[in-house]
Amino acid sequence: MSSITASIDSRSDARSAPGAGKTTTDFSLTAWIRRYMMNITKLAALLLVAALVTCIAGDRQNREDYISPGAVAEGPGNTLYVAEKGREQLAVYDREKGEVRRHIPVPGRPTGLAIAPGGTPLLVTLDGPNGRLLSLAPGTGEVRRSIATGHTPTDPVLGQADKTAYVCNRFDDSVSIVDLSEGTERTTISVPREPIAAALSPEGQYLFVANHLPADPADAEYVSAVVSVIDTRERHLVKNIRLPDGATDLRDICISPDGKHAYVAHLLARYQLPTTQLERGWMNTNALTVIDVNERERLNTVLLDDVDRGAANPWGVACDDDGEYVCVTHAGTNELSVIDRAALHRQLQAAEDGQKVTAFTDSAEDVRNDLSFLADIRRRVELTGVGPRTLVLADGTAYVAEYFSGTLGIVTLDDEQARARSADLGPTKEISTARRGEKLFHDATICYQQWQSCASCHPGGRTDGLNWDLLNDGMGNPKNTKSLLLSHETPPAMVTGVRASAEVAVRAGLKYIEMADRPEKDARAIDAYLESLEPVPSPHLVDGELSETARRGKEVFQKAGCRRCHSGPHFTDMKQYDVGTGSGRHAGTRFDVPTLVEAWRTAPYLYDGSAATMREVLVEHNRDDEHGRTSDLTEEELDALCEYLLSL
């Protein structure tokens, strides 16, 4: 047999020799077997790649092709317009018939709506780094104008005479003032951090803007998000109204019909305390802040929770046309709070006057810690849909965009016996594991007493801008909240790497932060959701590419030695080092090297959030050059390095 093989192999050698004819037949059994196995291997690889592509594409479609209503606005003729983010369309809902009349496709994911009383204009903001404001013809859905705004525009607001619009550019930290008649952006006004919603005073002079997160260093004595006030006539920022210490995750704002008060929904984190329990809002409470519009000052903050039951993740807030109610949706507990507005202000005034309002409140200072303040003047309505977002109040009825169930929630305000119901906006589909994980991540009903969800500290899977004293590395050593983006690809987890992986951290979070005993399938679903998170392009990019300054900064990044630790595709070697940033009891501590992807979004920086800006990381917190060689860099080089880091 060996001689036969040798003879056949010699023919193979002759065929492969230079100048050998292509028609020469190779009868080598070994070569034939080798080619056969290679072809089988290639075929298997191709099938595997095809399966993976199909799986990934299918999972992405599963994540993005849901109805996902996120905004709703009242239109003319008993209609509502609902922004269906997942389907890239608007639903026109007939309130009288209780059904969807038609759908209007839009060229992108709609994030917000505004409609003039007569129906024209109909404004829609589209998601993305190159955001757009569309002006549509309500009847046909024809795009009359497409106006460039900023990064991730949302919540358009119509000005007086419907000739001007105001748009929150969330990741540009700015508000656009748009001339609708000319179809141009007149100017932009900078605000502190992630403007996410706005409301205009009745006379049209002041725009109140809710900023999503605090812009403070997290180790400051007072950390809170702010409501910015813009003078629309002079086109400048008048002031920033600080909310109570711990206020974060602002979602929506409205102004009462009489123009006297603004209401903003948010979390009120008790980050100063170790996370030893959840009872009585020990970690997170959920709140509504009342602002005096004329004085442009915070009047007070009331808690939306009950003594033994949280009202997690307040989102949408709205007043009815008569000013009788102010309503708040709770995205974590799938509820609607219906508050007697006149009674609310009577109690707030009584507290201001030093009268005893409840067993716990006899001064204005007591209100924001009183879990019983709304007990007799608020009704908590359990919604039938899941994931309530924004809402509108029309003709005594609340209509709520229910994100995860793809429905429109409907609640009659005056009838205390009436139960909520949900109207279908379209056919539903079976959810993927990642979508189920997203739903669980935002679900506070799985938490002990419903005080919080995973999203309470990680809105959108990112950061709340606060320090928390978790017990996984002892007590009395608070650490800054980390973004969960890429956490499953960059083990270990937590600031000091005390969890071996994100998978371990997810299960520990359910047990020790949610105080919940959940099945393993829930943890796997949350893993799948976090793994599905994708980086948002930085607002510092120019047409999706590094700017000239950032390209110079990339060279400085190498020169300063940053790449020694921040290496690889995720800019981390996944190790721990003492880089001299620890202080006090943390002096000499080895910290996990964080990814730099989306660093533009994760301020404040360092383990204790003590650096509010990237430049502070490079200069004020690195005087001994232990965290990169930056002391010899010129101002221009520092600027370039910052620009590069914030472009990742």
- The average pLDDT across 455-473 equals 96
393 falls within a domain? no
Which of 504, 532, 560 represents a domain boundary (last residue)? Answer: 532
pLDDT for the residue 527: 97
User: 589-595 long-range contacts, Cβ below 8 Å, gap at least 24?
Assistant: 589/496, 590/496, 590/497, 591/495, 591/496, 591/497, 592/492, 592/494, 592/495, 592/496, 592/497, 593/565, 593/566, 594/482, 595/485, 595/486, 595/490, 595/570, 595/571
Same domain, 523 and 580: no
Domain count, the chain: 3
Length of the chain: 648
Work out the pLDDT band at 429, boundaries 50, 70, 90: confident
The verdict on residue 238 lying in a domain is no
Residues with Cβ within 8 Å of residue 210, at least 6 apart in sequence: 195, 196, 197, 198, 225, 227, 250, 251, 252, 253, 264, 266
- 454/488 same-domain check: yes
Note whether 581 and 496 are same-domain residues. Answer: no
SS3 474: strand
Question: What percentage of the chain carries pLDDT values higher than 90?
Answer: 83
Domain CATH code at residue 605 = 1.10.760.10
Question: Is the bond preceding 604 in cis, omega lying within 30 degrees of 0?
Answer: yes
Same domain, 506 and 555: no
E runs forming strands in 180-283: 184-190, 195-200, 206-211, 226-231, 236-242, 247-255, 261-269
pLDDT of the residue at 43: 39
Give a yes or no: residue 72 inside a domain: no
Q: In the 3-class helix/strand/coil scheme, how is 477-494 assigned residue by residue?
A: CCEECCCCCCHHHCCCEC
Q: Does residue 518 share a domain with residue 595?
A: no
Residues 524 and 578 in one domain: no
> For residue 584, is it left (φ>0), alpha (ψ between -120 and 50) or beta?
left
**146 domain residue, yes or no:** no
Q: Could you tell me if residue 630 is inside a domain?
A: yes
**640 and 601 both lie in a single domain:** yes
Q: Which two tokens stand for residue 459?
A: 């809105």
pLDDT exceeds 90 at position 25: no
Question: What is the rounded CA–CA span in Å between residue 470 and residue 225?
Answer: 22
Verify that 445 and 512 share a domain, yes or no. Answer: yes
| Weakest-pLDDT range from 115-119, 230-234, 505-509 | 115-119
Mean pLDDT of 169-174: 98
Are 450 and 515 part of one and the same domain? yes
Residues 632 and 575 in one domain: yes
Quickly state the pLDDT bin for 385 (edges 50, 70, 90): very high
Structural domain range at position 10: 2-16+26-61
Choosing from 507, 532, 557, the residue where a domain stops is 532
> Per-residue pLDDT for 408 more than 50?
yes
The mean of the pLDDT values for the chain is 90
Determine, yes or no, domain membership for 112: no
pLDDT, position 607: 94
CA nearest neighbour of 460 among 224, 251, 174? 251
